[in-house]
Chain A
């Protein structure tokens, strides 16, 4: 998982703190580490070596110990392919061992059946859902209560979580999450994997569902009002208990240990803490290796080395390693956008160079990016989203911008918030979705752009990380922002002239009015899914409601009424077009109307996305169907698109698949309105 090397390298983890790396000194790392966090003594840190110099996978004892002790199920995912069979057993043991608390039973794990789902085309799925399977289950619904239904379904070759009251009450605990409470995450799921064997495919399923509620203090504040960028708790340092309780820390430091950025607290006061992080990293580097990840109880510490800069994330949010690493890379990209890679030269001249002054006033940019990590799917999908607009309107906007790029403007970009209205660039180059994300975050988080027209150096790290470009930025109205990029620092008056012409063209073709209409209309809503009435027979809906009322509130993780939402219990979906590098997400509608429910779903999608793309633990997946206490999640990936859909936890699998097909059809029908077509060279 953490290894960038090709060979299997697995985590030498066990809960007794044994680190399976003989020549290193685990005590030394422990000693360093215990200064940083107060931890349960039974959970010692461990780390993953960079390369596959040694093969740890044979350490069967460690695996067994960990699982018998009810070790956090996440760790299983760490292990390489070599010992997957052992883990499979271990995982089931762990799940059963934990069942008094979590009551997660997994039955009849026939992944070969799920394997047959791999690569099925929409037609196959239609066929499948219209076979006896659906009818059979629906008949049973009428006869059995919920608990029976789960067994009945699981006997039809699906692994399911057995939900009951204890589990949801466990989730509701508000205290700091402990290793044991996270065992509720042993969820049932069914995965199809194109390349891996049946036994390995079940391993990655363990990760989902442990979603403890989110980022504590910060998110509770957020629920009350609009989020404002900027540094929080800036007076704190590592000696404050409240500082240690923040769920997700981000740090940037130099390889000499000088603090550059910290999400919480005052960087200057955190100098000692930064030095400690630096000591851990250089300790491993001295042995010719690179540290990627330390797990300690509920905390993951992710390290990223980029030239002379160290980036560290300390998180107890239970997001997958790949996701957190991607976030560190984006954080580094944001830094490059502000300063370019040229800043690295300063460290060559003087290794003790203090970079803080160069980043003056950029706290809002970083904090807003970190906020987006929890709310904007663009951060993990590597795609951007467009404002829905009538096709002719977007064509008119593209036309207005295209005229300008012929006159020396490199990229012309019209945006509304984080959503793209139109984007025009040189024929041979396209704007990487990450560059777009970082640029829009930079512009949106800096209020000064709203007050007057501005001209600012920016660097697009994926386009050219070593040089500045110059961005002309002007808001055409409250939400709509025009960005013109050029390589010439003296081009301001030319760009100003371009802006005037573009503005005239946009007003003439009524683009700005359509933009306002679109903002007030909002995006795709699950209630609007075409033909939704035909999808689920009325009795299907009523039977679901009967069940939930019969079982009482304990079966529902949410306080809202189950059964609300779209067809077949559809709650939300994200569709990513592979060729366009664009995605569309449905608007949040009930029952996803609390911030915490939205964030929980967002995190679940993050995990689902990570496991779909995981190339190490169990190979990339084509399709997954998972059920946990909060949602039914279905994801489907082929060469054209990726679809992630969330349903009511009691939704039927067959009707969920059916609805997913309707979504894909719907997206194809409205494609020219929700996507910017013809923006990338990949599209023809």
Chain B
């Protein structure tokens, strides 16, 4: 993280970008900011594109900076949640920019690749970072992606489950390629969001 962003990124001016943690139009319509974090190449963008557009593009496109997408989901209890999703780049040089995106977020999805123990280590780094600097009460999900590559699995789901429970997160394994559990992931986040009253900003 030697390559720092220029100074303004750190001065914590929370205007513009963070106007909305959970903005409730009413108790039935939520608009929330969600951020995806994780090592590069674990499939963050693929999860988002599968969720937002129902597409999977096997060619690897390295995210630059961060992409912004939004998607509205109707939950079973007839609330609608509009997710405003920051899909961040996993490269090390963008790590110092992450606070820009997770500040004020009411949900965070930390992704790792089940075939890569290193990416699981990186996921734990992000969890700690969010616990330290994220919004209080942020809904966190730990996601093991590439579940379709079961034969090359290197991270046991029991370990991840145990880690998630000890950190107050929920855990799910997804496959962006096969669309397995992707919608479930976001619906589950929607269920866990606090209702009725806006969350407190830090």
State the A residues within 8 Å of B (CB).
Answer: 338-340, 342-343, 345-346, 349, 353, 357-361, 364, 442, 446-449, 451-457, 466-468, 470-471, 487-494, 496
Taking A453-B67, A455-B65, A456-B89 as known contacts, 5 extra A-B pairs with beta carbons closer than 8 A to each other, sorted by chain A number, are: A346-B2, A446-B64, A452-B68, A454-B67, A456-B65
Given contacts A448-B45, A451-B45, A490-B16, contact A468 B62 (CB under 8 A): no
Q: Among A343, A357, A471, which residue has the most Cβ atoms of chain B within 10 A?
A: A357
A-contact bits for B50-75, CB 8 A (1 contact / 0 none): 00000001010111111111000000
Residue of B whose beta carbon sits closest to that of A365: B64
Given contacts A343-B3, A361-B40, A451-B67, contact A488 B8 (CB under 8 A): yes
Q: How far is the CA of A360 from the CA of B60 in the complex (A)?
A: 13
- A489–B100 touching, CB < 8 Å: yes
- Least CB distance from A305 to B in Å reads 21
11 contacts between A and B (CB under 8 A): A339-B93, A343-B2, A361-B40, A361-B62, A448-B62, A448-B63, A449-B64, A455-B68, A457-B65, A489-B9, A493-B19
The residue on B at minimum CB distance from A349 is: B2
A454's partner among B7, B64, B91 (CB-CB below 8 A) is: B64
Q: How far is the CA of A265 from the CA of B190 in the complex (A)?
A: 47
Given contacts A451-B49, A489-B100, A493-B19, contact A358 B64 (CB under 8 A): no
Closest CB of chain B to A17's CB: distance in Å?
43
Min C-beta distance of B126 to chain A, whole Å: 16
Report the nearest A residue to B68, measured CB to CB: A453
CB of B99, distance to nearest CB on chain A (Å): 10
Selected contact of B64 from candidates A345, A448, A467, A468, CB within 8 Å: A448
Q: Choose one: A489, A492, A494; the contact of B8 (CB below 8 Å).
A: A489
Contacts of B8 in A (CB 8 A): 487-489
Chain A residues positioned under 8 Å from B59 (CB to CB): 447
Q: CA A358 – CA B92 in complex, angstroms?
A: 6
A484 nearest CB across to chain B (Å): 13
* Residue among B6, B87, B93 making CB contact with A467, cutoff 8 Å: B6
Interface residues in B1-17 by Cβ distance below 8 A to A read 2-9, 13-17
Q: Which residues of A contact B62 (CB under 8 A)?
A: 361, 364, 446-448
| Residue of A whose beta carbon sits closest to that of B7 | A467
Q: Which residues of the other chain, B, contact A343 by a CB distance below 8 angstroms? A: 2-3
Chain B residues with Cβ below 8 Å from A468 are 5-6, 9
Bound together, the chains give a CA A353 to CA B92 distance in angstroms of 14
**Is B97 an interface residue when CB atoms closer than 8 A count as contact?**
yes
In whole angstroms, what is the CA distance A349 to B92 when docked?
18
User: B3 to A455, Cβ gap below 8 A?
Assistant: no
A128 to B24, CA, bound (A): 80
B5 and A360 contact, CB distance less than 8 A: no
- Residues of B contacting A361 with CB < 8 Å? 40, 62, 89, 91
- The answer on a CB contact under 8 Å between B93 and A338 is yes
- Report chain B residues within 8 Å CB of A338: 93
* B65 with A493: CB separation less than 8 A: no
Does B18 lie at the interface of the complex (its beta carbon under 8 Å from any beta carbon of A)?
Answer: yes
CA distance A574 to B40 in the complex (A): 42
Q: Nearest Cβ distance between residue B180 and chain A, in whole angstroms?
A: 21
With A361-B62, A452-B68 known as contacts, the answer to whether A342 contacts B4 (CB < 8 A) is: yes
Contacts of A471 in B (CB 8 A): 65
Rounded to whole angstroms, the CA-CA distance of A488 and B64 in the bound complex is 18
Q: If A452-B69, A490-B100 touch, does A359 touch B64 (CB 8 Å cutoff)? A: no
Which residues of chain A are near B61, meaning CB under 8 Å? Answer: 446-448, 451
What is the chain B residue whose CB lies nearest that of A443?
A: B64
C-alpha gap A489/B10 in the complex (Å): 9
Pair B67/A457 contact, Cβ less than 8 Å? no
